[in-house]
Amino acid sequence: MKLSLIVPAALILSLGGAAALAAGPAADPVKGKAVFARCAVCHDLNTGANRIGPSLKGVIGRKAGTAAGYAYSPAMKKKAVTWNAATLSAYLAAPTTYVPGNKMAMAPMANPQDRANLIAYLQQAAK
């Protein structure tokens, strides 16, 4: 006797499987390095040197507006957020909405896969 198990999607969702069902392709740090090329014009990644924008060395886990030696906008200094995958994604998706009055002159990064790839790269490279 052969049994087949069919689990309704509603049951999976109620058991905490929403992330598994909603998850897209995995983030790729190699592709994220290519995305970072757009950021590298203004941001250092590894030396801690500030450029037009603050250094991104150690950005994951850092409180917004606190990189040493960088002149942040008052809006960024007041933003009570610690940078992690979710907060970085929200900021990159809509910088002027997430931190109104910030100094970063970057168009929103609309592609969620690009954001995920970039963040995966930062998690590996910006230590």
What is the tens place of the pLDDT at every residue in 38-94? 999 999 998 999 999 999 999 999 999 999 999 999 999 999 999 999 999 999 999
Residue 24 has pLDDT above 80, yes or no: no
φ and ψ of 110, to 5 deg: -70, -30
pTM here is 0.79
∠ at Cα 49 (123, 67), nearest 5°? 65
88 compared with 9, residue with greater pLDDT:
88
25 compared with 77, residue with greater pLDDT:
77
Q: Which of 69, 58, 56 is nearest to 104 (CA)?
A: 56
Sign of the alpha-carbon dihedral angle for 101, 79, 46, 26: negative
Name 63's bridge partners: 82
CB 20, CB 11: distance < 8 Å: no
